[in-house]
Amino acid sequence: MAWFASDPEAAPATVRETREARIATVVLGAIVVVSVVVTTGAVTWDRFLYGRQAMLKVDGSEISVETYRSWFSYRQNLLIASIQQAESMGGPASQPTPAPGDSAASQAYSMKEMWRQRASQLQGQLNSLSANLTDEFIERPIIRAEARRRNVIATPDEIEAELRSITGWQDPAGTPTPGITPSPMGATPVPATLTPAPPTASPTPDPALPTATAVRTPRPTATSRARARRPNTLDQAIADFARFAGGSPEIIREDAEIAVLRRKLGETIADETPKTGEQVKARHILVADEDAAKKVVERVKGGESFDTVAAEVSTDGSNKDKGGDLGWFGKGMMVSEFETAAYALKVGEMSAPVKTQFGWHVIRLDDRDATKPLDDAQWSRAKEETFPKWLEKEREAKGAERLLTESMREWVVRNVTPLDPTALRDS
């Protein structure tokens, strides 16, 4: 308290002023200290403690917001880089159509159009990233558990091959693999040699997230003289790619392992697809509008032959002269509205007018077989659907508790790790 003691030789007014100044200094210092403590606490809560909250509970385990943020950054950055690449290869959408007979120009135009379609597909994946990533967290324990049950394993060599594919790494001591022009319909992972070019338009962020998602991720600048780094080891390539994609080596290794397990398990389950399935044999009459379809129904109910009416009015030139016969088809082979109506009919029954993207149909069911053998093409299509359907059913059966709130989404956006294209270039 000596600091507040009065100078016995000082005038009373001076003593009072000195004391008041010292008290004000102490109060100001206390305010500063409190402010620092509060601010530090708020930062600690926002950056570290907030991220420990659970955004998903599945199989007795919790997925934290921080874990979600890490994977979201990684997935989003790969998609953005791939979109940039596809848009750069595709060029502007308003390119002139090549002149007839110019095969070289037509081929180049077709390739650019494929790249533009690829960019659109990737954009759709980016838009649905939030929901898809949550599903991915639910699927991982399902895939691991089923793989163990079936003795499906990801060998070290398979995981290494997947890591090479993800990072684009080639062993400097090995035989170089000839360069391959990326396919516009290829996989999402971006090769390590990629230097993304600026897109013609900013990707639209996930609609479930604030628009700050796209703004938070800076656009890389293409550098014509930039040379791809050639790390000497796969570990270094993984570290570089992790920095590029805003992830971590652990995320990339887990991504590779799950990719191998998913692929092998998918093949195993797909091979178990039954080679028989329910199919129906139907015919139809296609017309332009509902009134015309109603007249078709009236004519057939009035006693005219379905075949005769089809030959006269159907706009489906592929079968109108065969009575509108579509042959046998299984589920998934027709547009959903048509399939639903056809499968709801009894043998010999005719439908009311059915609208699809092709026009208005009147359908007649000729036969049904619950165990009809599938031809090779039908079995191939069925196999493609088997694993996704199995996984969807298993995912729904888990009854996962989805806890991701809007404030959590906003926190992810604020703390997302940006794309870093310089990580894959020589300095």
**What pLDDT is stored for residue 36 in this prediction?**
52
Residue 250 backbone phi and psi in degrees, to 5: -65, -40
Separation between Cα atoms, residue 42 and residue 228, nearest integer Å = 41
Q: Does domain 277-373 have CATH number 3.60.110.10?
A: no
Q: Is 237 helix (H, G, I), strand (E, B) or coil?
A: helix
Separation between Cα atoms, residue 392 and residue 129, nearest integer Å = 17
pLDDT band for position 94 (50/70/90)? Answer: confident
**Residue 341 carries which side chain, given as an amino acid letter?**
A
pLDDT in tens, 318-347: 999 999 999 999 888 899 999 999 999 999
**Residue 307 carries which side chain, given as an amino acid letter?**
D
- H or E, element range at 399: none
pTM confidence score = 0.69
Separation between Cα atoms, residue 386 and residue 395, nearest integer Å = 14
Separation between Cα atoms, residue 65 and residue 81, nearest integer Å = 24
Nearby residues of 42 by Cβ (< 8 Å), 6 or more positions away: none
Could you identify the residue written with the tokens 């959590």?
408
The encoded tokens of residue 265 equal: 């398990």
What own/partner pairs with CB < 8 Å and gap ≥ 24 does 267-275 have?
268/150, 268/152, 269/386, 269/387, 269/390, 270/383, 270/384, 270/386, 270/387, 271/383, 272/386, 273/379, 273/382, 273/383, 273/386, 274/382, 275/373, 275/374, 275/379
Higher pLDDT, 163 or 44: 163
User: Among 423, 39, 128, 53, which Cα is nearest to 249's?
Assistant: 423
- The answer to whether 404 touches 68, Cβ cutoff 8 Å, is yes
The encoded tokens of residue 310 equal: 């089809």
Higher pLDDT, 3 or 66: 66
User: Among 132, 121, 128, 124, which Cα is nearest to 185's?
Assistant: 121
Residue 36 backbone phi and psi in degrees, to 5: -65, -45
**What pLDDT is stored for residue 232 in this prediction?**
86
Query: If you count them, how many residues does the chain have?
Result: 427
pLDDT at 37 over 60: no
pLDDT at 72 over 90: yes
- The answer to whether 362 touches 353, Cβ cutoff 8 Å, is yes
The encoded tokens of residue 140 equal: 């991982």
pLDDT at 235 over 60: yes
Domain ranges of the chain: 16-52, 65-93+107-175+188-272+389-424, 277-373
CB atoms within 10 A of CB 288: 12
Could you identify the residue written with the tokens 């385990």?
61
User: Among 210, 165, 171, which Cα is nearest to 189's?
Assistant: 165
Separation between Cα atoms, residue 253 and residue 256, nearest integer Å = 5
- H or E, element range at 195: none
**What pLDDT is stored for residue 214 in this prediction?**
35
**What pLDDT is stored for residue 229 in this prediction?**
55
User: Among 328, 369, 330, 366, which Cα is nearest to 350's?
Assistant: 366
**Mean pLDDT of all residues in 219-238:** 62
pLDDT band for position 139 (50/70/90)? Answer: very high
- The answer to whether 45 touches 66, Cβ cutoff 8 Å, is no
Rounded mean pLDDT of the chain?
82
Residue 357 backbone phi and psi in degrees, to 5: -65, -15
* Three state DSSP letters for 328-383: EEECCCCCHHHHHHHHHCCCCCECCCEEECCEEEEEEEEEEEEEEECCHHHHHHHH
